[in-house]
Amino acid sequence: AQSVTQLDSQVPVFEEAPVELRCNYSSSVSVYLFWYVQYPNQGLQLLLKYLSGSTLVKGINGFEAEFNKSQTSFHLRKPSVHISDTAEYFCAVIEAGEYGNKLVFGAGTILRVKS
């Protein structure tokens, strides 16, 4: 079974500073990785995904992530954060089953952007 570990439960950062949210996944032959963001009282919004190809993935709102197979990591980065980036971020991996797939999520990282 797949698993995802988000190494930080909370990350405080000042506005306009860079940020990195860390994610490690359990190794597998084929890996499909996602980052989602959740604002208070909302559902999950897809930030970016890695299915194959270039290991540097660019997403919405200036976020990017790098797939590192040797480190089994998929860290999310943004060079300059805004107050509006305050939210909870979830890393997820597809677990492929015999009859269907499902997303396996990490525990989430709360990003708190301070002015």
Partner 1 sequence: KAGVTQTPRYLIKTRGQQVTLSCSPISGHRSVSWYQQTPGQGLQFLFEYFSETQRNKGNFPGRFSGRQFSNSRSEMNVSTLELGDSALYLCASSIEGIGGYTFGSGTRLTVV
**Rounded-to-integer distance, Cα 40 and Cα 73, Å:** 27
Nearest CB to partner 1, comparing residues 36 and 113: 36
Among the candidate windows 10-18, 58-66, 75-83, 105-113, which touches partner 1 by CB under 8 A?
105-113
**Rounded-to-integer distance, Cα 59 and Cα 47, Å:** 5
Nearest CB to partner 1, comparing residues 81 and 91: 91
- Are 6 and 22 within 8 A, CB to CB? yes
Considering only residues 57 to 96 of the shown chain, the ones binding partner 1 according to CB under 8 A are 90, 92, 94, 96
Residue 45 engages partner 1 in binding (rule: CB under 8 A): yes
Structure tokens at 37: 């963001």
- Are 6 and 108 within 8 A, CB to CB? yes
Residues in touch with partner 1 (CB under 8 A)? 32, 34, 36, 41-46, 49, 51, 90, 92, 94, 96-97, 99-108
